[in-house]
A = this chain, B = another copy of it.
């Protein structure tokens, strides 16, 4: 598709390029023209003649957009492809007019109302999915856009997934099909009050009684209580319960059992189950994370999910599973998804901060010439170097996660293909990288949301920023699917092993796709390698960054492996070093995958304007990351103190180069206003008008209060309290 035809189809201000096929139902993702569906009245009588002072936000953003050296629509198309953008458009038209999917009201609601709204959303989602015949990609994207974690969340993911993957044929009939039709609602009960990460340590038991052909599910202690289980608190009637299997007096470790927990009609817990919601959380208030205790609950033999391991119903004999390695594939897939999600979170955070800082004005430039009598105009906050330094690298991180997310899914596919042909050579490398990337990307994204929120100044603290709710709901990702500070041990073990193997034999055979071995070999060949940067402009050599990050990672791995193997240090005394090895390895991957695109992506090569701006973003990511981690580059001897000064100067120069491109780069990330859900980050820039509207909807504004300290009446016209 040529540039011309692209320009022709988009209405002014349109973010997303529409394909010819969808141009009939043109729909603009980003003009923020959605109607308010919250149903909340406007409680403050704002005089309608008042406008924000100075140039309107919409015009300021328009000017910003006109400064860019590239077309954000073409960049969006390059990043996401036409199919994805079409799908977003198609779904948005359905989703954003649904009252059940309104997000604005959540800000004003307490826990109870939020949960009800989420349940309503879940029901409506099921109806619409059926009505519009959504395929799995539609469903997944619709969930992303609606962005309200609800009580059916675990039913639709882990519960169904576990049934499908681990249930035998009979169990598909017995459970899966009913679950797919929402006749039963399930949850996935693994974590316990006293046991999270360490699945082997779970306390819940499932003891086989061959006389009655039943398993007895029991919670032997208070800490054995299942805890944090999404959808269990008030919703689910079935649970996949991970419990220690005992049969014939022997223990066989944790296995998955399907346990009915609530009466399908009355919704009361079944006998022997004590169930409840675990109470208020920092976020995820729309979900009923729950607890359950079992008092010797009996379930039939066919409720142990039996595709892999089974118990002979007559003898109680345990039959072992075939191949455990396949499980790593699923983990890798989930973790690649987390990298992709980090891209989206980083994009949302930086878009809000960058657009708002382009509008917000504060102080005149200290060096601005003073015109007599007239005060110098205030600067957009985005002009301040310190603001740029805090938020532009986050924009760059979004792009870095984009390329590494794409690469992780490619590797997952390749590794699944290889494994189906019996070749497991790629598995360890991909598993190790995906663990470390899960760690670094979640920590980076969580920090980014808060950094961007602060960069919005005072208004960042209003829920109107959208960043508070995003942060609160994103935080669990740092902890679940492998705690991000602990999971790096999996990466570390692999890095140590690779170092040992290649140290002993430089010709040891590695999978051709193994990039870890590549940088370790390069280091072993020349551990004294040095950067050849002589001027700050030399921090422009794309391949040079790849070598630098590889050298630094290998240096840390070599040091740590030495401590373990030669100095015989305990594993525990190396945990921080191991964490650092994992971070260094994953930063290498992020830089390397980004560099590959800059150097070799054919779609980019033919578009000089895009290639130029993408390379700028790459350089900022690489230089900024290198500066943050500079002590290790310096300590390894790879860069000198003088080069460190050049590096910092290069970061400053890059910030200035990104400045005119910043808003257009945000646009290219194609986050529709409905997903952004931020008055500060709106595509149309009408920030201040919308902040006032946001205030007007506060229900508290409908109540008057009695402030006399000696009067026990709180709200005027309501009954007095007996005492304060």
Contacts and interface: CB of A to CB of B under 8 A. Distances in A.
A107 B450 CA distance: 22
A248 to B, nearest CB: 16
A321 interface: no
Contacts of A708: 123, 182
A461 B44 contact: no
A281 B670 CA distance: 27
Interface string A47-69: 10011111000000000000000
A221 interface: yes
A572 B365 contact: yes
A221 B51 contact: yes
Interface stretch (A137-145, A193-201, A417-425): A193-201
A488 to B, nearest CB: 8
A393 B696 CA distance: 44
A537 interface: no
Interface stretch (A207-215, A232-240, A343-351, A542-550): A232-240
Contact of A631 (B108, B480, B630): B630
A274 interface: yes
B185 A707 contact: yes
A183 B464 CA distance: 34
Contacts of A295: 47
Interface hub of A196, A360, A575, A630 (most chain B Cβ within 10 A): A575
Interface stretch (A311-319, A506-514, A684-692): A684-692
A333 interface: no
A126 interface: yes
Contact of A635 (B152, B182, B225, B641): B641
Contacts of A115: 700
A641 B637 contact: yes
A330 interface: no
A390 B575 CA distance: 11
Given A579-B386, A630-B631, A700 B233 contact: yes
Given A198-B362, A277-B700, A571-B366, A222 B692 contact: yes
Interface hub of A122, A224, A386, A706 (most chain B Cβ within 10 A): A386
Interface stretch (A24-32, A161-169, A377-385): A377-385
Nearest to A120: B724
Contacts of A458: 191, 196, 227-228, 476, 479-480
A51 B574 CA distance: 35
Contacts of A54: 223
Contacts of A362: 195-198, 201
A278 B221 contact: no
28 contacts: A44-B274, A44-B275, A50-B221, A50-B225, A52-B222, A52-B223, A109-B110, A112-B700, A126-B709, A127-B710, A151-B705, A182-B708, A185-B707, A197-B362, A198-B378, A268-B704, A277-B700, A278-B695, A279-B463, A365-B571, A367-B571, A384-B486, A386-B485, A386-B579, A454-B478, A455-B485, A630-B634, A635-B645
**CB-based closest 7 A-B pairs:** A110-B110, A630-B631, A44-B276, A126-B709, A282-B468, A53-B221, A386-B575
